Amino acid sequence: MFNIPFLWEIFLSNGANINVRTALFVFEANNNNLHSETIEKKAEEGITALHYAAINNSQETAKFLISHGANINEKAEKGKTALHYAAIKNSKDTAKILISHGANINEKDDEGRTALHYAAIKNSQETAKILISHGANINEKDEKGKTALHYAAIKNSKETTKLLISQGANFNEKDDEGITALHYAAIRSNSRR
Protein backbone atom coordinates (compact mmCIF):
# COMPACT_ATOMS: atom_id res chain seq x y z
CA MET A 1 0.00 0.00 0.00
CA PHE A 2 1.26 3.47 -0.82
CA ASN A 3 2.11 5.91 1.95
CA ILE A 4 0.56 8.98 0.36
CA PRO A 5 1.48 11.51 3.10
CA PHE A 6 5.08 10.31 2.78
CA LEU A 7 4.91 10.82 -0.98
CA TRP A 8 3.43 14.29 -0.45
CA GLU A 9 6.40 15.11 1.83
CA ILE A 10 8.85 14.03 -0.86
CA PHE A 11 7.14 16.13 -3.52
CA LEU A 12 6.82 19.19 -1.30
CA SER A 13 10.39 19.02 -0.01
CA ASN A 14 11.50 19.13 -3.63
CA GLY A 15 9.48 22.23 -4.47
CA ALA A 16 6.17 20.84 -5.77
CA ASN A 17 3.38 23.44 -5.93
CA ILE A 18 0.31 22.02 -4.16
CA ASN A 19 -1.98 24.59 -5.74
CA VAL A 20 -1.27 23.16 -9.20
CA ARG A 21 -3.32 20.30 -10.63
CA THR A 22 -1.31 17.08 -10.73
CA ALA A 23 -1.89 13.38 -11.18
CA LEU A 24 -0.81 12.80 -7.58
CA PHE A 25 -3.68 14.69 -5.97
CA VAL A 26 -6.19 12.96 -8.23
CA PHE A 27 -4.63 9.66 -7.21
CA GLU A 28 -4.92 10.53 -3.50
CA ALA A 29 -8.39 12.08 -3.64
CA ASN A 30 -9.86 9.14 -5.51
CA ASN A 31 -8.71 6.62 -2.90
CA ASN A 32 -5.71 5.51 -4.93
CA ASN A 33 -7.67 4.87 -8.13
CA LEU A 34 -6.01 6.79 -10.93
CA HIS A 35 -8.13 7.40 -14.05
CA SER A 36 -6.77 9.47 -16.94
CA GLU A 37 -10.29 10.61 -17.92
CA THR A 38 -10.74 12.12 -14.48
CA ILE A 39 -7.38 13.86 -14.61
CA GLU A 40 -8.09 15.53 -17.94
CA LYS A 41 -11.64 16.56 -17.10
CA LYS A 42 -10.86 17.94 -13.66
CA ALA A 43 -7.74 19.73 -14.80
CA GLU A 44 -9.82 21.70 -17.28
CA GLU A 45 -12.12 22.88 -14.47
CA GLY A 46 -9.26 24.33 -12.44
CA ILE A 47 -9.84 22.10 -9.44
CA THR A 48 -6.99 21.90 -6.91
CA ALA A 49 -5.98 19.12 -4.55
CA LEU A 50 -7.87 20.84 -1.74
CA HIS A 51 -11.02 20.92 -3.87
CA TYR A 52 -10.66 17.17 -4.37
CA ALA A 53 -10.16 16.64 -0.65
CA ALA A 54 -13.44 18.50 -0.02
CA ILE A 55 -15.29 16.58 -2.72
CA ASN A 56 -14.14 13.27 -1.21
CA ASN A 57 -14.45 14.35 2.45
CA SER A 58 -10.79 13.47 2.92
CA GLN A 59 -10.08 15.25 6.19
CA GLU A 60 -6.47 14.09 6.58
CA THR A 61 -5.62 15.19 3.07
CA ALA A 62 -7.28 18.57 3.65
CA LYS A 63 -5.34 19.09 6.90
CA PHE A 64 -2.12 18.06 5.22
CA LEU A 65 -2.61 20.40 2.25
CA ILE A 66 -3.61 23.32 4.45
CA SER A 67 -0.61 22.77 6.72
CA HIS A 68 1.60 22.94 3.64
CA GLY A 69 0.18 26.20 2.33
CA ALA A 70 -2.76 25.25 0.12
CA ASN A 71 -4.81 28.33 -0.72
CA ILE A 72 -7.99 27.63 1.24
CA ASN A 73 -10.06 30.11 -0.79
CA GLU A 74 -8.67 29.15 -4.22
CA LYS A 75 -11.41 29.21 -6.82
CA ALA A 76 -12.01 26.68 -9.57
CA GLU A 77 -12.99 27.85 -13.05
CA LYS A 78 -16.60 28.69 -12.13
CA GLY A 79 -15.57 30.38 -8.91
CA LYS A 80 -16.23 27.52 -6.52
CA THR A 81 -13.99 27.12 -3.47
CA ALA A 82 -13.26 23.96 -1.51
CA LEU A 83 -16.03 24.99 0.91
CA HIS A 84 -18.53 25.15 -1.98
CA TYR A 85 -17.54 21.58 -2.93
CA ALA A 86 -17.78 20.42 0.69
CA ALA A 87 -21.36 21.76 0.77
CA ILE A 88 -22.24 20.16 -2.56
CA LYS A 89 -21.00 16.75 -1.38
CA ASN A 90 -22.17 17.17 2.25
CA SER A 91 -18.56 16.72 3.36
CA LYS A 92 -19.35 18.12 6.80
CA ASP A 93 -16.10 17.08 8.48
CA THR A 94 -13.96 18.65 5.78
CA ALA A 95 -16.19 21.74 5.88
CA LYS A 96 -15.38 22.09 9.61
CA ILE A 97 -11.67 21.86 8.86
CA LEU A 98 -11.89 24.45 6.08
CA ILE A 99 -13.86 26.85 8.26
CA SER A 100 -11.52 26.41 11.24
CA HIS A 101 -8.60 27.31 8.97
CA GLY A 102 -10.17 30.51 7.67
CA ALA A 103 -12.28 29.58 4.65
CA ASN A 104 -14.48 32.52 3.69
CA ILE A 105 -17.88 31.16 4.68
CA ASN A 106 -19.81 33.69 2.58
CA GLU A 107 -17.58 33.53 -0.52
CA LYS A 108 -19.61 33.65 -3.72
CA ASP A 109 -18.99 31.74 -6.93
CA ASP A 110 -19.52 33.15 -10.42
CA GLU A 111 -23.31 32.85 -10.02
CA GLY A 112 -23.25 34.64 -6.68
CA ARG A 113 -23.92 31.44 -4.73
CA THR A 114 -22.40 30.70 -1.34
CA ALA A 115 -21.68 27.31 0.19
CA LEU A 116 -25.03 27.61 2.00
CA HIS A 117 -26.85 27.96 -1.34
CA TYR A 118 -25.25 24.67 -2.46
CA ALA A 119 -26.02 22.95 0.83
CA ALA A 120 -29.68 23.86 0.24
CA ILE A 121 -29.62 22.77 -3.40
CA LYS A 122 -28.13 19.37 -2.49
CA ASN A 123 -30.11 18.99 0.77
CA SER A 124 -26.82 18.82 2.67
CA GLN A 125 -28.51 19.55 5.98
CA GLU A 126 -25.56 18.64 8.20
CA THR A 127 -23.19 20.91 6.30
CA ALA A 128 -25.81 23.67 6.22
CA LYS A 129 -26.07 23.45 10.01
CA ILE A 130 -22.29 23.83 10.32
CA LEU A 131 -22.23 26.78 7.92
CA ILE A 132 -25.03 28.56 9.79
CA SER A 133 -23.45 27.94 13.19
CA HIS A 134 -20.23 29.53 11.92
CA GLY A 135 -21.91 32.68 10.63
CA ALA A 136 -23.08 31.98 7.09
CA ASN A 137 -25.46 34.72 5.96
CA ILE A 138 -28.72 32.76 5.89
CA ASN A 139 -30.51 35.34 3.71
CA GLU A 140 -27.66 35.99 1.24
CA LYS A 141 -28.91 36.34 -2.32
CA ASP A 142 -27.26 35.07 -5.50
CA GLU A 143 -27.25 36.84 -8.88
CA LYS A 144 -30.91 35.88 -9.41
CA GLY A 145 -31.94 37.19 -6.01
CA LYS A 146 -32.44 33.69 -4.61
CA THR A 147 -31.58 32.74 -1.04
CA ALA A 148 -30.70 29.29 0.24
CA LEU A 149 -34.35 28.91 1.26
CA HIS A 150 -35.48 29.56 -2.33
CA TYR A 151 -33.24 26.71 -3.51
CA ALA A 152 -34.31 24.39 -0.70
CA ALA A 153 -37.94 24.93 -1.77
CA ILE A 154 -37.17 24.56 -5.48
CA LYS A 155 -35.29 21.29 -4.86
CA ASN A 156 -37.84 20.02 -2.32
CA SER A 157 -35.07 19.77 0.29
CA LYS A 158 -37.40 19.25 3.25
CA GLU A 159 -34.82 18.81 6.00
CA THR A 160 -32.77 21.79 4.90
CA THR A 161 -35.92 23.90 4.49
CA LYS A 162 -36.90 23.14 8.10
CA LEU A 163 -33.39 23.97 9.29
CA LEU A 164 -33.23 27.27 7.40
CA ILE A 165 -36.62 28.41 8.68
CA SER A 166 -35.79 27.37 12.26
CA GLN A 167 -32.59 29.42 12.02
CA GLY A 168 -34.38 32.56 10.87
CA ALA A 169 -34.40 32.43 7.08
CA ASN A 170 -36.81 35.03 5.71
CA PHE A 171 -39.49 33.00 3.93
CA ASN A 172 -41.10 36.21 2.62
CA GLU A 173 -37.94 37.22 0.74
CA LYS A 174 -38.57 37.64 -2.99
CA ASP A 175 -36.13 36.77 -5.76
CA ASP A 176 -35.58 38.93 -8.86
CA GLU A 177 -38.80 37.56 -10.37
CA GLY A 178 -40.80 38.49 -7.27
CA ILE A 179 -41.20 34.87 -6.16
CA THR A 180 -40.85 33.71 -2.55
CA ALA A 181 -39.70 30.31 -1.30
CA LEU A 182 -43.32 29.55 -0.38
CA HIS A 183 -44.35 30.20 -3.99
CA TYR A 184 -41.65 27.80 -5.22
CA ALA A 185 -42.84 25.16 -2.75
CA ALA A 186 -46.41 25.57 -4.05
CA ILE A 187 -45.26 25.38 -7.67
CA ARG A 188 -43.24 22.25 -6.87
CA SER A 189 -46.21 20.70 -5.07
CA ASN A 190 -48.56 21.37 -8.01
CA SER A 191 -46.10 19.96 -10.55
CA ARG A 192 -46.04 16.63 -8.68
CA ARG A 193 -49.77 16.06 -9.04
pLDDT of residue 46: 81
Mean pLDDT of the chain: 83
Residue 22: pLDDT band with limits 50, 70, 90: low
DSSP string, 70-84: --TT---TTS--HHH
DSSP state, residue 178: S
Region 61-87: what's the mean pLDDT?
91
Contact 53, 86 (CB under 8 A): no
The pLDDT assigned to 192 comes to: 56
Q: How far is residue 44's CA from residue 108's CA, in Å, rounded to a whole number?
A: 21
Question: Helix, strand, or coil here: 30?
Answer: coil
The neighbour count for residue 129, using CB atoms within 10 Å, is 18
Average pLDDT over residues 69-86: 93
The domains of the chain, with CATH numbers, are 4-143 (1.25.40.20)
Tens of pLDDT along 126-157? 999 999 999 999 999 999 999 999 999 999 99
Give yes or no for a contact between 33 and 23, defined as CB atoms under 8 angstroms apart. Answer: no
Instruction: Identify whether the C-beta of residue 112 lies closer than 8 Å to the C-beta of residue 119.
Output: no
For the beta carbon of residue 183, count every other beta carbon within 10 angstroms: 15
Q: Are 118 and 90 in contact (CB under 8 A)?
A: no
Query: pTM score, two decimals?
Result: 0.80
For the chain, counts of helices (H) and of strands (E)? 12, 0
Neighbour tally for 68: CB within 10 Å: 14
Q: Are 72 and 66 in contact (CB under 8 A)?
A: yes
Confidence (pLDDT) at 73: 95
Query: Can you give the pLDDT at residue 35?
Result: 39
Q: How confident is the model at residue 85 (pLDDT cuts 50, 70, 90)?
A: very high
